[in-house]
A and B are shown apart, each in its own frame.
Chain A
């Protein structure tokens, strides 16, 4: 077998194995709960009969291994069982399926992530390229300190600064600036569009309105991941420019533009693609906080809500989706790195 295919298959197998182990951990954490789940939901004063009825209605009275196999089998087909909210076994029509709750929210989160990626990836690559070309110049220095600050700031800080700007430009930052300064800064901020500080979308929201409402969360996420992406792009291009063939191209008398476009970039795509896939995985974390800040109805917010109300099937499903996305994107990053590695492509 070709070594590339073998390595890729190995990596895929390892990814699947990791995902399996993660699913076991996510599922078994439910078993850790002392006194069983029913007591936690129904309260300590619940009678044994109520607890038994609750357990039976959710199928919690069967052995864990059976339930795990069922849960995993269902999860693979997109069925995560019933939510604990409204469960209790008294009324069948109150029971809600986890997949029904997650479905529309999954679309929303995917929408936000895709929008962020569309904005962030071109900006990050352009910035990284320029920072590498004009290394140690003023542009590089400014970009460097700005990105270091956004990396170190919590996402909600970046988000609220943006909200403050979006809201403040309406009243000329009256509450932020001392008296009389408002009219002075007005001409400088009047170009900022009147962005909605809350991203309240619903199922029937038209596409462009959805984009408009999700723009502030997307910019927040962009600021956070562009910093990582740009720094890694810069580092990989700088290490690339240190290669002898770049020096050769320069010595031949090629223009800097030709050196970059003809000689550096073709070799840079692989590391850049890896960087992008790796950083998009970071969105998994960012999306949770940002969705809560902007009350955007996505999986992140759902997970936080379900953790607060201890609705475990929903929390588990969200955790599994996030974990699978994260593992998948890291896998993609790895596979891109393997496939584009010339040492593996041309074996001796």
Chain B
């Protein structure tokens, strides 16, 4: 069990990690997803006690990493980014040294080292110097270093970077196997990897957590649109009129004009409706021949990009309002009124923006996703608390609107499930 409670890491004024909270349950594989410089490694370094958070608490199996580092660190096996190793040692010596560092008893050490070498498939190179082995093996040695001493929690920072496809699948299956008996936190920017291995995903960008959910749910969230790619032969050019005939269609867009007279269209329809049947019924009546019809699939990749883009737009909006508030700020009462107005406007704008982006014109259902609601709301509240008194009036408003916005969003998400 790893608990991270509102942890912030600042470098000067720059916030590498900004007030993040999450917890990883026992025997859960948690994936950290985010673009480069999102704060993945910083977070992992803080969990392992390599760096100290500016504020916040990290509790590893009941031990606070800052207050009782020895007890906490012994629970953790860490495979850092860029696999740092002692090049002058042999593979076996290195693993043995790591076992010593982790206080594995002398009697058990040999067996433990043998076990780990076998587990990571290093038997063939165990007597070679680390500087002489290939990158893939180095990765495994680093993994072995994390595994030795049988720690409860494994923290793997980009465990498959730089491996060939065969090695990647090997490492992945190893991680999956280990996940049955260990708690694992791994980071990656390869989405397919995360969706394959992890039971839960945290999407992080610019030091902030954007989403915590299962990979399946995230994929579903991205699937706001119900889009169909269709290839047709349309002699009478009636394709544009189809939109009026089938009411569930939101838009029809030409993607490709093929040489053989066929055209490829992207049709976006309302989410709940399945228009494929209707298309098959109506198109032949209009003298349109269907060559191909397929539903476009959303992947975690889409979810990831969507979450990141929409949040970025939100943050920009927020910054703008803050700046405005500061620039205008003299008469507080007046300003407050103005702000509520502009914010309401902006809220509406942002909403429509997000929606038009995703082409989602679905009604928000009152059925709420309890999880995401509880995750977003308290966060917004604590944020609101932190605001200074002078700014509090305007800023809490911003945050409050943000909170409602996010909770509404999550309602929408919940509805999508």
Q: Are A and B co-members of a single complex?
A: no
Residues on B facing A (Cβ under 8 Å): none
